[in-house]
Amino acid sequence: MHVFQRRYNMSALIKEIKKMEAGPQLVTAEGWVRTKRDSKTVCFIELNDGTCLKGLQVVADKEKFDNNLLSSISTGASIVCEGTLTESLGSDQAVELSASKITLLGEAPESYPLQKKRHTLEYLREIAHLRPRTNTIGAVARVRSTMAYAVHKFFQENGFYYVNTPLITASDAEGAGQMFQVTTFDLDNIPKTEEGKIDYSKDFFGKKTNLTVSGQLEGETYATALRNIYTFGPTFRAENSNTKRHLAEFWMIEPEMSFCTLEGDMEIAQNFLQYIFKYTLEHCEEDMDFFSKFVEPGVKDTIIHVSESPFVHMTYTEAIKELEKSKDKFDYKPFWGCDIQTEHERFLAEEICKSPVIVTDYPKEIKSFYMKLNEDGKTVRAMDVLVPRLGEIIGGSEREAGLDLLQQRMKELGLREEDYWWYLDLRRFGSVPHSGFGLGFERAVQYVTGMQNIRDVIPYPRAVKQADF
RNA sequence: UCCCUUGUAGCUCAGUCGGUAGAGCGGGUGGCUGUUAACCACUAGGUCGGCGGUUCGAGUCCGUCCGGGGGAGCCA
């Protein structure tokens, strides 16, 4: 990126101005006032436009400016400053803007909710429309955007096509949790059949529909046509879960690869995570330093380490053996066949492996119907990527490619074949081994930034009893 | 949904054994100063989350409802 390049009618971004050298040319800076400090003859304004963490110091000689103008420039006000860049006498910045002209665009009276002091993240959630103007949420927003770009960049550069799977779905049986129903019915006057049941034939789609809980099944259809695809879009879960790592509306990334077995799946998952981590470290250095200093001490070093070291591999059976050695530490005693609890996941990643770990070959009973059965008849070709601090960040598998085996599995679980006719067609016509995984985007942002609560890494969190703004 | 915890000034919190409230920051005013979480002084600002109960008296004890946080389950 060229620092001096002008875009459309925009003046230079503050992140670019800060990299310029002192000189006689006029520079214009626009932004919001973070804080103002007065001295006898000069006034210091820290101006931030959100393009970087630390703002530009604007220095206004009090003799040159109307006192009313300077006094109305308070924290939160929006201003335009024109002047020349000079070498700063202060030690916290290389250059500063010596203002020759300041225009107040919008004042911010004392009722402005953001003070020039630390606020709790809980309070900031109540003013979600203003919180991106804070250091922390601004940094999260920049990192989130950078990570989203890295996601596309990784897949686009590695032979994947971006597929948009539907958000509204008629398949009610994906089994991945409670769904939000979509209807245009007047809920006070719902059409009923003669038997008194809801008459969905009169609803908008002529059948019962919900918001998607996963684009995977539709993703598989495009993977078995374009070879490698990925989805990256919103996902909805109506579960009544109240935790710091669940949302009712979140963004999920789901790659799906044809002619790919579980081994390839694991390799891509690791390379993918490491790529977006490295890309973010490279492009968000200032923000990562901030997170590492104030949000989660050492998170930057952790991400550097994780982006360079191979992940540990372990089968479910091996993982249970390891957990049984320390069973006294757990509320839920581990045994072969049990679900791996959050406490187990974290112990595996944090204590046993001290790094991300990929656990594979889970008992079929605790995994989804579409996962490929191993030859032992008991386990499936599933993999979960567990990371320290968070637990599961990726869940994936090699898909069952055999029609008979898939039909048998669905029968065992009471799934109706007619609901999945098109999914089964993929096994009827040109079936191939294929694999994929799902990554919760917000969880990845949490992991990279060290933010404790998922509601602080998405602009407007939707959760149980929470849909403001 | 369950368990724990919390709700006091604009924000963050203190408030002892039940006797109707304090600090820091922020705001305002004044002072000082090339400042950078600026500093110093003064000042304004409160239905103590709502409702009900116990008591001579409730921020404090009890019940209940609502909101916040943490943990669990479910999962991404």
User: In a 3-state reduction of DSSP, which class is residue A356?
Assistant: coil
Q: Which residues of chain A (154-183) touch nucleic strand B at CB < 7 A?
A: 176-177
User: Distance between CA atoms of A235 and A253, rounded to whole angstroms?
Assistant: 10
Backbone angles phi, psi at A8, to 5 degrees: 45, -125
Q: Which helix (H) or strand (E) holds A392?
A: strand A391-398
Q: Which chain A residues in 366-395 sit with Cβ < 7 A of strand B?
A: 391-395
- Calculate the angstrom distance between C1' of B71 and CA of A235: 26
Q: Is there contact between A438 and strand B, defined as CB under 7 Å from any strand atom?
A: yes
- A245 closest-nt by C1' vs CA: B76
Q: Is the CB of A259 under 7 A from strand B?
A: no
Query: For residue A38, which nucleotide's C1' is closest to its Cα?
Result: B35
Distance in angstroms (rounded) separating the CA atoms of residues A467 and A469? 7
CA of residue A115 to C1' of nucleotide B26, angstroms: 6
Q: Give chain A's residues under pLDDT 50.
A: 1-4
Buried b (16+ CB within 10 A) or exposed e, A360-382: bbbbbeebbbbbbbbeeeebbbb
Which nucleotide has the least CA–C1' distance to A444?
B76
Distance of A78 CA from B10 C1′ (whole Å): 21
Bases of strand B lying below 7 A from some protein CB: 1-2, 10-13, 25-28, 32-38, 67-76
* Phi, psi dihedral angles at A351 (to 5 degrees): -100, -50
> H/E element holding A281?
helix A262-283
Q: So what's the pLDDT on residue A343?
A: 85
Residue A248 φ/ψ region, left for φ over 0, alpha for ψ in the -120 to 50 degree band, beta for the rest: alpha
Give me the CA A196–C1' B23 separation in Å, rounded: 65
Q: CB within 8 A of A325, min separation 6: which ones?
A: none
Within 7 Å: CB of A247 and strand B? yes
Distance A9 CA to B50 C1' (A): 53
- Find the nucleotide nearest A54 (Cα to C1′): B36
Name the residue among A391, A395, A438 with its Cα closest to residue A244: A391
pLDDT tens digit sequence for A112-126: 899 888 899 999 998
Task: Determine the nucleotide nearest to A247 by Cα–C1' distance.
Answer: B76
pLDDT value of residue A2: 46
ipTM of the complex: 0.89
Distance A337 CA to B1 C1' (A): 25
**Contact between the CB of A42 and strand B at under 7 Å:** yes
The answer to whether some atom of strand B lies closer than 7 Å to the beta carbon of A198 is: no
- Long-range CB pairs of A269-273 (<8 Å, 24+ gap) are A269/A358, A269/A383, A269/A385, A269/A394, A269/A396, A269/A437, A270/A310, A270/A311, A270/A356, A270/A358, A270/A385, A271/A154, A272/A154, A272/A155, A272/A439, A273/A306, A273/A307, A273/A356, A273/A385, A273/A393, A273/A394, A273/A439, A273/A444
**A60-64 contact pairs (CB < 8 A, 24+):** A60/A99, A60/A102, A61/A98, A61/A99, A64/A99, A64/A100
Residue for token pair 């684009």: A215
